[in-house]
Each structure stands twice: as structure tokens, then as C-alpha cells.
Structure 1
């Protein structure tokens, strides 16, 4: 199983869910997902959480997994990261197009606003609900500050989870890496 696909599949079982629910969420054929769910269960990565009618509900055995290096081709980072980054980029581009359509903007000819460095976005401007946002900033951090920043961002996302009826599924991609982004 592809590493990225496996991680996405396991993520569907952070709360109890059926294989058909996961297939629907991933927009994948039910028989393919069911096959991989059985394999993940047999490996101990998923466990039975209960039943929903005749269907079995599964839950991830843990929230964090340590995958042996021999099972993943980490010698070539693009093997793992490339497909995920292409999917993130495509999903973000579609979110922008969807947001523009909801705002009544034409598909072309609109200005694009980018916030660089310490320049804070103007929150007085009404961008509508769920406007896509991207913030990029390079900062000097000690190793302790780097870890503290990652922990703080994770804590923020954990606190944001809600079951409100007006809530909409939203994706945050928090990427941190040593070095600086060079756009050429």
C-alpha cells in the first residue's frame, strides 16, 4: 500500500467508522478500501470498535505510528512527499476557485493578495466565510523555540475541533523545516 494512501486511510479511523464510510470520504472504490482495512486490521493498526448494524466499525490503534525505515522509501523524500504536496496544491487551488465563485468573482482578472513577513492581513476586509489563506514567513528560532512553535500550532488545531452544525471541514497544512524557502 502506498504510504500516503495508508496514512490517509488510517486518518479516517481516528473515530470509529466503517470501511464504507472511509471509502466514501476518500472517494475510493469500496472493495479497495475494504481490502486495505482488513490488511490494516490484520497488522494491528486498526482494531474493531463496535458495530453499526451489520457493519463493523474500526478505530485506529494509535494516533502516532513509527514506521520502520525499511518499509518506506525515505531515501528519496519525493516518493513520500511529492504525491501529498501535489494533492495539497490541487486542493488549495480548488478551494480558491470555489471561494471566488461564492464571492461572485469571475474566474480570471481578480487581484491576488499575498502577505509577506510581518505584514498582517487586513482583518477589516470581509472575505466571506472560509476564505483560503496562505501565510509564509521565515524566522530565526532556537531548537527549543522550533519545537515549542510546532507544539503550539498543534494545540491550536486540537482546540479548534467542533461539532457545531454550521461548521465546515477545513484543512490546515502546517509545514516547518530548517532553512529558507527559495522561489526562483
Structure 2
């Protein structure tokens, strides 16, 4: 299948023109997240290693992005194709996205996050040997308090924190940037033998948890 005709990016921007492009771009797992691996020409196998995903699964979604014109071939490395994203910024017309029903876009993503987190909790409990005889306590640490340093939580203990704070628009953006910078620095330094793929979901929005 040949990629559909689409305008070349101008000033590194591309306007999405088809439902197929909008759907592929907004796919939680293999849309923008996958495109970010191709900001510079690279191979499918390299992207799969970076995402810690099966190579055949990533290759399937790369083909979908190529077919709808969001990725393009930038050259070859031996027999392997090098792909690069068609733009760094994509504009999706409102008519192509059901923004009036936001759960149609974010619902699948949140369900996947919830399921993955639940499995991580179960895995952690198994590794810790919980529940053990007489061990039926659930410990919650309130904001501002920290677990006892001597508490044996084990490696990669799942964590869930909800905080509502009052911020100016500048502080709100600064907080998002700071959290991303922390993860970028940690990822760049992740050379230890015991390093494992770890997921952080950074979700921010104006308002409170309970709508009024």
C-alpha cells in the first residue's frame, strides 16, 4: 500500500488531513510515543529496544505510520530502512477527533495504565511474599510523610500519589518540564546492571479530582 498524498511539513509542522492519520497519531501506545523514537533517522529494531517492546509489534505499527504518511523512509543502514517522522509538530483538526467525548480518546489509554499498574502491584506482592501469615495490614503514607527508611519495600515498589496544588500558569508549565527533565536525566544514566524498564505516568490538569 502506498502512503496517501499529504503535504510536506512546513517549518516542521504537518496538518493531519485524514481520519486514519488522526487515529494513528492519537493511539496511546503506538502513536506519538512511537513517533518520538524517529525524531532522527533510525531503524525499527532500535525503536523497539528503546521502548522495550517486541520488534515484530513495533514493526507492525511503524508500517501503519508509514502507510498513513506520519513516518517516511529517510535512507538505509545496510538492508534495514531508516525512518524519520514527517514532522515534529502535528495539527489535528477538531473534526477528526471526538473531543466532545474525550473518553473515546483517553479511555483506552487510562484502562491500559490501570491494568498495567494493577499487575505491577500483584507482581510486587508476590516478590515480597505478601500476604504472609498475620500480614494483613495496608499502610498508607500521607502527603509530606515518607516511609520508614528501614521499611523493606523491595525494589521497584509501585507508587501512586495524588496531589492538588495551587499554581500559576508559569509554575504549572515549570512543574511539567521539571518532572520530564528528571526522567530524561535518569534515563541517560540508566547503565546499572539492575536497571529495569520503569513507567511513570505524568498526568496533569487544571481543576480538582472531584468535579463541582
- The TM-score range, normalised by the shorter chain, is 0.7 to 0.9
Label 1:127 to 1:62 Cα distance change in 2 as closer, same or farther (>3 A). Answer: farther
Match of 1:169 in 2: 197
Name whichever of 154-163 and 87-96 sits farther off: 154-163
Confirm or deny that 1:150 pairs with 2:176: yes
Confirm or deny that 1:18 pairs with 2:44: yes
CA distance in 2, matches of 1:49, 1:123: 50
CA distance in 1, matches of 2:76, 2:56: 22
SS in 1 for 2:53: helix
Structure 1 residue 9 displacement after superposition: 1.9
Match of 1:99 in 2: 124
TM-score (norm 1): 0.76
Structure 1 residue 113 displacement after superposition: 2.9
Structure 1 residue 110 displacement after superposition: 4.3
Aligned residue pairs, count: 178
CA distance in 1, matches of 2:197, 2:87: 22
CA distance in 2, matches of 1:139, 1:30: 38
CA distance in 1, matches of 2:147, 2:161: 9
Confirm or deny that 1:181 pairs with 2:203: no
Match of 1:47 in 2: 72
Aligned pair partner of 2:85 in 36, 44, 60: 60
CA distance in 2, matches of 1:124, 1:65: 48
Poorly superposed stretches of 4+, deviation over 6 Å: none
Match of 1:79 in 2: 104
CA distance in 2, matches of 1:28, 1:110: 43
Structure 1 residue 81 displacement after superposition: 0.9
Compare CA radii of gyration and give the structure with the larger one.
2
CA distance in 1, matches of 2:106, 2:125: 28
CA distance in 2, matches of 1:31, 1:158: 25
Q: Which has the higher contact order (CA 8 A, sep 6+)?
A: 2
Cα deviation, 1:160-179, whole Å, max 9, x if unaligned, reads: 11341432111100111112
- 5+ unaligned residues in a row in structure 1: which ranges? none
Label 1:177 to 1:6 Cα distance change in 2 as closer, same or farther (>3 A). Answer: closer
SS in 2 for 1:47: strand
CA distance in 1, matches of 2:138, 2:25: 31
TM-score (norm 2): 0.68
SS in 2 for 1:58: strand
- 5+ unaligned residues in a row in structure 2: which ranges? 1-19
Name whichever of 84-93 and 115-124 sits farther off: 115-124
